[in-house]
Amino acid sequence: MNNNFDSDNIDSGAAGGLLIIDLDALQDNYRRLCAEAKPARTAAIVKADAYGIGAAQAAPALYKAGCRLFFVAQLIEALQLKPLLSPDATIAILNDIHPGMETTTADAGFIPVLNSLSSIEAWGDLCRKRREKLPAMLQIDTGMCRLGLDIKEIKQLVADPEIFNLADIYYILSHLACSDDSANNMNYTQLITLKKLLKKLPTAHVSFANSAAVYLGKDYRFDLVRPGIALYGIDPHGQTPSRLQPVVQLKARVIQTRSVPAGLKIGYGGTFLTKYPTQIATLAVGYADGWHRSLGNRGAAYFAGRRLPIIGRISMDSMMLDITTLGRKGPQRGDLVELIGPNQMLEDIARDADTIPYEILTSFGHRYERRYIQSE
């Protein structure tokens, strides 16, 4: 008996849904961002498995598009990404490195983003020990209060900037808190704060702009921009039509259809009551697949260009649609209906789920058939 299992040869009908990822669109978005940010260099944020679309596919595609600097959040992500990229690609770790992991980081050739005086000290000690100017980046907090040196720590760094002599400081980083709102005064306040702090520190290249800040203007771009969500097709300012190409489509398979009378409660908790004889299609996608439970009785799917509301609560492995309006032209068992696509963008799903597109993207489960589109 052969127990070997080849996941690459699974029949497409085995999955409850189809996740289509357009790597050509991903590459095009990267090139558009490069053109917008020029002359600043453009990196790529591929943390969280490239925002859920698959770093193993996305990162090499971005490399082919010209990207040479990739940011992840954690050391484990860097270790997973390294074998997928050419030796001339550089990987930086945004969330710093845990104590004791300095040697592993240096041996792998990764660049830590140092966020505290203690991590700066540890990296400096390793530079002394090896008698080598190991690469690093420094992050300073200009108002977000999440990561980076605070004002007190920056004063200490200004008083003792030895790390600039011990290590090869590629960039000084900071991060905007409200860049998706171009009218928010916090953006300008952080920019002025950053410029004042930079005057006190040794000269280094600077990176400030995330996806949204790329479009705030040249003052925010400095030497390097770090787009994330924009790469994956989401316009960070919600511009319509978007300046970017959609990267993701999602379809769910119908596993059953049925007719129910008026006055019947539907799904867990009976939260939906049919008001008329209703045709129902049950889909093989649920919250275990990243389709948020909050979309119950609020979200929708599309078939033949028609909106089909989700009725009742979303279950772990399934959800139900009201397909009554389609009559005999409704979807049947085995058919695929659109969850994300031409009729319904990620932004629409996020709005209905009362969340943000980032959370939808990074919630995609592993039970979908993933189909990657890329021209040679």
- Enumerate the active-site residues: 47, 268
Tell how strand 306-311 and strand 319-322 pair up.
antiparallel
- Whole-number Å distance between alpha carbons of 284 and 82: 35
Write b or e for each residue in 352-376: b if 16 or more Cβ atoms lie within 10 A of its Cβ, otherwise e: bbeeebbebbbebbebbbeebeeee
Of the candidates 307, 290, 279, the residue with the CA atom closest to the CA atom of residue 250: 290
| Distant-in-sequence, close-in-space partners of 223: CB < 8 Å, separation ≥ 6 | 40, 41, 171, 205, 206, 207
Q: Phi then psi for 94, rounded to 5 degrees?
A: -65, -40
- Whole-number Å distance between alpha carbons of 321 and 254: 10
